Chain A
Amino acid sequence: MKEAIELNINGDTYELLVSPNYTLLEVLRDKLGLMGTKRGCDLGACGACTVLLDGEACLSCLMLAVDARGKQILTIEGLAEGGDLHPLQEAFVQKGALQCGFCTPGMILTAKAILDEEPHATEDEIKHKMAGNLCRCTGYKKIVEAVMSVTTSSGKEV
């Protein structure tokens, strides 16, 4: 039985009719055309589907859409303001912290969740908290460099 729900995504409110068995990932991609959130494995083991729920990094493939009601959902599309890249996005670009780009939205959002909570996170903390985001292209080195470059810009808002 479909339910009418409201989801708050990137500051906008969407009214949707969804079955309880739709995951948040399916609703984002298949119902709302927000393709930035990726489906890498659909079982929560790669982090490509990461979105922020009230600022916390969550696996949207393992969340029911109906369960995301009442949360502030942030997808990668909600990060850049107008034409300007978020400092994390800019850092990824400049440091070459991406190749195919498929894991990138998940990486950036997880990094954002970490840095919003801990702006001066250490390299060790970053690696531990991002370890659920898999990358097969980069070997991770440049991603760590990119995220670290945003932490060490002390005083800047991220």
Chain B
Amino acid sequence: MGKDFNVVGTRLPMMDAAQKTKGSALFTDDLILPGMLYGRVLRSPLPHAKILNIDTSKAAKLSGVKGVVTGNDIPDRQYGIVPMAKDEYALAKGKVRYIGDDVAAVCAIDPEIAEEALDLIEVDYEELPAVFDPFEAKKEGAPVIHEGIKNNTSFAIKKEFGDVKKAFAESDAIFEDTFFSQAVNHAPLEPHAALAQFDPLNGELTVWSATQIPFFLRRNLSNTLQIPESKVRVIKPKVGGGFGQKIDMFAKDFCAAWFAMQLGKPVKFVYEREEVFISTRQRHPMYITVKTGLKKDGTILAQQFQSYADGGAYNSTAPTMMALSCFFLMIPYKVPNLFYEGYHVYTNKPVGGAMRGHGIPQARFAVERQLDLMSARLGLDPAEVRIKNSIHAGEPHSAGFVINTCGFSESVKKAADAIGWSEKRGKLPHGRGVGLAGASFPSGVSNMSHISSGAVVQVGRDGAVNVLSGAADIGQGAETVISQIVAEELGVPLEDIRITAADTGITPLDPGTFGSGVTVRAGNAARLAALSAKQKLFNFLADKLEANVADLVAKDRKIFVKGTPEKGMTFLEALKAYQYADLPMPIVGRGSWMAPADEPTTLFKQDGNFAPNYSFMTQAAEVEVDLITGRVKLVRMVTAHDCGRPINPMLVEGQLEGSVVGGMGQALYEDAIVQKGQMMNPSFLDYGFPTFLEMPEIEAIEVETDDPIGPYGAKEAGEGTQLSPAPAIVNAIYDAIGVDFMELPVTPEKILDALEAKNKKG
């Protein structure tokens, strides 16, 4: 594969890395405006209750309090991140549906007074019966959480192709197993925050928000505040991690805007860590039953799934999450016959939303665990079974996915080799083991409307390049990756690029950071914009250099005719000539990009390609189980990873390393424990995600493919690698101690219980 790129494919520090090391990178809570007020949200202490009355008079009278607002005061406009599933009010109207639900808000001249004021708001509740388990919630007679939603099931998805019954009849073996994935919290280091400012003269609202979705946030603010989108500007400052938790509008966004509009003063809301745990989002707990029919050589003939997502009190991304969870059972293995039914069920608990992998980690856990279970039952090697069933590029896909590039089977071989599969699997001393698991993830989604991205590239006469992109960098380095693509296209180094991003008042549209679509979608848009600027320059230069436009090359700050780099001009000379020819400066290029699809469609109604391209990976784990304490140490995790061509290998590694530790947390350490609707461990102390001392050895192996759709051949690298660490680890635990775990997390207590049970059996 041609490695003749200058900027793309290079390990480069993020453009704002130095700023971040100096502490001068500004996050939302670092922004201050003159006269700024501070807001806090009052939350429900009850899981399900009618709001009979809210008395805010004492709070309003407290010296220093400038405003109080409740659900009674705000417009009757529900919102949601997915329009068809909108079911939330910014502040609860009529009733509260979980402990932590937003009830009222105050703002005051300083944070201490705001906190005091919360205590002075008196709410009369009439407690209602609550339900905390999705299976109980979907029964007839269960408490109704949202009016009109039968059986508390807000979303259901059914998908089938082929003939599952026939395929089962033809199978040599059929296995049915049920799995459970727990509630996990994203726990980004930066708490959710928003700062709003309103200009009463022109009626324009500006909101700085720690968000992954500036444009969707703008829309939701516009809808709920009942002002035109054109009057709302959302700006994303630096964001301190999101992982999906900063998708959605939250009370902090609405209430900051509300007070700013009412009072004509800037208002800032910052959530306490406890609020981030309880009142934002978490990964849906899911119960998944898989029934698989196989030939005795391990070939999958059919799979039947039943999946229940414990949704918590509101929908958030429910339809998207369930769709992803369903569709990503159809990849990376060939499943010729499939039946899937999935249900998103409300409960009176913290709300499930998008979290790194978005419904797929839970599905992957079920499938990858079952592959190992079945391999053991049939006496087959788990790695070989995966290779045998692997899909390949260019093959027709049962659901209509278009797989242009696929390094999956290669990734299985490479991961297995790297972990020492043949020397270790089944051969290590009791307490040590290896396991592996595969996965695939879309690079953004094709088949949903409004998923397009725009970019503008301006080349000034001094050679400096300005990029405008809507992309939301939340720490993954999106701005750097986009800038590298532009730099490559224009033949200049990264340091010549300046980027302004994620400001709905200035930058073109981009849906935001979710579904791992940024590099492909925003990257392609930026590439087209750079190309468009370059074309203008080339069209002009073609005459000057007496060449065809198609033969011109931009590289190393030079423009020359292919094959004769010594002849040509410098980038600066070219720009000067362009300017002196009375052509308008700066040179502006525009581009927008949407994934190719014959027509906008959703896969609920018909088959088709889900994403512009798909990443593939296999992760192999080596674990050591302390047989006395039951503690599992992830010693080493190898990821063999096909993300096409990585635009910035160092940033891709960063994603991978973070994913592995996050997946390890999900497997072994983390659990958002909810009892009777109340989260018992809403702190960094009690919700223990891994520290430096839990770090495994992490190794990344590139499986390079060159995707035709991705910019410079790139595919996603942000989420796929968090899909399979958990099953790889649990598969390795089986190898280590001969115990199969069907649920997460696998805690020392569970290990000891299992070992005791095993010893009793003899």
Verify whether A and B have any Cβ pair under 8 Å.
Answer: yes
Binding site for B on A (CB under 8 A): 29-30, 33, 35-43, 45-46, 48, 75-77, 79-80, 85, 88-90, 92-94, 96, 98-105, 108, 126-128, 130-144
A35 touches B188 (CB 8 A): no
Contacting residues, chain A, for B691 (C-beta < 8 A)? 131-132, 134, 140
Q: Which of A46, A92, A139 contacts B658 (CB 8 A)?
A: A139
- A136-B189, A139-B658, A139-B661 in contact; A77/B22 too (CB < 8 A)? yes
A40 touches B22 (CB 8 A): no
The complex places the Cα of A29 from the Cα of B28 at a distance, in Å, of 13
Contacting residues, chain B, for A130 (C-beta < 8 A)? 692
- A40-B189, A96-B14 in contact; A102/B657 too (CB < 8 A)? no
B684 touches A140 (CB 8 A): no
The complex places the Cα of A41 from the Cα of B650 at a distance, in Å, of 29
B272 touches A42 (CB 8 A): yes
The stretch from B389-397, B470-478, B499-507, B625-633 touching chain A is: B470-478
The reply on B2 being an interface residue by CB < 8 A is no
B13 touches A144 (CB 8 A): no
Contacting residues, chain A, for B24 (C-beta < 8 A)? 36, 77
B659 touches A101 (CB 8 A): no
The reply on B322 being an interface residue by CB < 8 A is no
B23 touches A42 (CB 8 A): no
The reply on B240 being an interface residue by CB < 8 A is yes
15 residue pairs of the A-B complex, CB under 8 angstroms, read A36-B24, A40-B684, A41-B683, A42-B273, A46-B189, A85-B21, A93-B13, A96-B14, A98-B21, A100-B189, A100-B190, A100-B241, A102-B240, A128-B692, A139-B695
Known A-B contacts: A35-B26, A131-B691, A139-B661. Give 17 more (CB < 8 A).
Answer: A29-B29, A33-B32, A35-B29, A40-B189, A42-B272, A45-B684, A75-B23, A79-B22, A80-B22, A90-B21, A100-B475, A103-B189, A105-B21, A136-B188, A136-B662, A139-B658, A140-B661
Residue from B16, B238, B654, B662 with most neighbouring chain A CB atoms (10 Å): B654
* Complex: chain B residue closest to A108, CB-CB: B21
The complex places the Cα of A88 from the Cα of B684 at a distance, in Å, of 26
Contacting residues, chain B, for A143 (C-beta < 8 A)? 692
Binding site for A on B (CB under 8 A): 11, 13-14, 16-27, 29-30, 32, 111, 186-191, 238-241, 243, 270, 272-273, 474-477, 650-651, 653-654, 657-662, 683-685, 689, 691-693, 695, 698
B23 touches A99 (CB 8 A): no
A140 touches B17 (CB 8 A): no
B272 touches A96 (CB 8 A): no
- A100-B474, A142-B657 in contact; A40/B191 too (CB < 8 A)? yes
B241 touches A137 (CB 8 A): yes
Contacting residues, chain B, for A40 (C-beta < 8 A)? 189-191, 273, 684
Nearest CB on A from B683, distance (A): 6
Contacting residues, chain A, for B22 (C-beta < 8 A)? 36, 76-77, 79-80, 85, 89
A48 touches B659 (CB 8 A): no
* Complex: chain A residue closest to B190, CB-CB: A102
Nearest CB on A from B147, distance (A): 37
List the 5 closest A-B pairs by CB distance, nearest first: A36-B23, A100-B475, A101-B20, A102-B240, A76-B23
Nearest CB on A from B26, distance (A): 7
The complex places the Cα of A137 from the Cα of B32 at a distance, in Å, of 26
Nearest CB on A from B356, distance (A): 10
Residue from A42, A75, A137 with most neighbouring chain B CB atoms (10 Å): A137
* Complex: chain A residue closest to B276, CB-CB: A41
Q: Which of B17, B27, B658 contacts A137 (CB 8 A)?
A: B658
Residue from B189, B270, B650 with most neighbouring chain A CB atoms (10 Å): B189
Nearest CB on A from B743, distance (A): 24
Nearest CB on A from B457, distance (A): 25
The complex places the Cα of A62 from the Cα of B476 at a distance, in Å, of 30
The complex places the Cα of A37 from the Cα of B27 at a distance, in Å, of 11
The complex places the Cα of A154 from the Cα of B189 at a distance, in Å, of 33
* Complex: chain A residue closest to B687, CB-CB: A45
The complex places the Cα of A128 from the Cα of B26 at a distance, in Å, of 29
A102 touches B698 (CB 8 A): no
The complex places the Cα of A2 from the Cα of B708 at a distance, in Å, of 66
Contacting residues, chain B, for A139 (C-beta < 8 A)? 654, 657-662, 695, 698
B17 touches A93 (CB 8 A): yes
B238 touches A100 (CB 8 A): yes
The complex places the Cα of A40 from the Cα of B293 at a distance, in Å, of 49
The complex places the Cα of A101 from the Cα of B30 at a distance, in Å, of 13
B27 touches A102 (CB 8 A): yes
B21 touches A141 (CB 8 A): no
* Complex: chain A residue closest to B684, CB-CB: A45
A142 touches B23 (CB 8 A): no
Contacting residues, chain A, for B23 (C-beta < 8 A)? 35-37, 75-77, 104-105
* Complex: chain A residue closest to B13, CB-CB: A93
B240 touches A131 (CB 8 A): no
B18 touches A48 (CB 8 A): no
- A43-B683, A77-B22 in contact; A137/B475 too (CB < 8 A)? yes
The complex places the Cα of A79 from the Cα of B654 at a distance, in Å, of 25
A127 touches B693 (CB 8 A): yes
A98 touches B20 (CB 8 A): yes
Nearest CB on A from B195, distance (A): 13
The complex places the Cα of A136 from the Cα of B272 at a distance, in Å, of 17
The complex places the Cα of A143 from the Cα of B20 at a distance, in Å, of 14
* Complex: chain B residue closest to A89, CB-CB: B21
Contacting residues, chain A, for B241 (C-beta < 8 A)? 99-100, 102, 136-137
The complex places the Cα of A98 from the Cα of B475 at a distance, in Å, of 8
* Complex: chain A residue closest to B240, CB-CB: A102
The complex places the Cα of A8 from the Cα of B388 at a distance, in Å, of 67
Nearest CB on A from B455, distance (A): 23
The complex places the Cα of A76 from the Cα of B18 at a distance, in Å, of 12
* Complex: chain A residue closest to B25, CB-CB: A101
- A99-B475, A100-B189, A136-B241 in contact; A43/B14 too (CB < 8 A)? no
The complex places the Cα of A80 from the Cα of B23 at a distance, in Å, of 10
Nearest CB on A from B717, distance (A): 12
A101 touches B238 (CB 8 A): yes
Nearest CB on B from A62, distance (A): 12
The complex places the Cα of A61 from the Cα of B694 at a distance, in Å, of 25
The complex places the Cα of A103 from the Cα of B684 at a distance, in Å, of 14
Nearest CB on A from B63, distance (A): 16
Nearest CB on A from B69, distance (A): 24
The complex places the Cα of A96 from the Cα of B477 at a distance, in Å, of 10
Contacting residues, chain B, for A75 (C-beta < 8 A)? 23
The complex places the Cα of A141 from the Cα of B639 at a distance, in Å, of 14
Contacting residues, chain B, for A85 (C-beta < 8 A)? 18, 21-22
The complex places the Cα of A108 from the Cα of B111 at a distance, in Å, of 29
The complex places the Cα of A131 from the Cα of B693 at a distance, in Å, of 6
The complex places the Cα of A28 from the Cα of B238 at a distance, in Å, of 20
Contacting residues, chain A, for B684 (C-beta < 8 A)? 40-41, 43, 45-46, 134
* Complex: chain B residue closest to A126, CB-CB: B692
B475 touches A134 (CB 8 A): no
B17 touches A100 (CB 8 A): no
The complex places the Cα of A64 from the Cα of B186 at a distance, in Å, of 30
A136 touches B658 (CB 8 A): yes
Nearest CB on A from B545, distance (A): 39
B243 touches A136 (CB 8 A): yes
* Complex: chain B residue closest to A96, CB-CB: B650
The complex places the Cα of A48 from the Cα of B653 at a distance, in Å, of 23
- A38-B190, A40-B684, A42-B272 in contact; A100/B13 too (CB < 8 A)? no
* Complex: chain A residue closest to B697, CB-CB: A141
Contacting residues, chain A, for B689 (C-beta < 8 A)? 134, 136
Contacting residues, chain A, for B18 (C-beta < 8 A)? 85, 89, 93
The complex places the Cα of A133 from the Cα of B692 at a distance, in Å, of 8
Q: Which of B17, B189, B695 contacts A38 (CB 8 A)?
A: B189
The complex places the Cα of A133 from the Cα of B513 at a distance, in Å, of 26
The complex places the Cα of A68 from the Cα of B24 at a distance, in Å, of 23
- A35-B26, A77-B23 in contact; A100/B14 too (CB < 8 A)? no
Q: Which of A33, A99, A103, A141 contacts B477 (CB 8 A)?
A: A99
B654 touches A39 (CB 8 A): no
* Complex: chain A residue closest to B664, CB-CB: A139
Residue from A40, A79, A94, A144 with most neighbouring chain B CB atoms (10 Å): A40
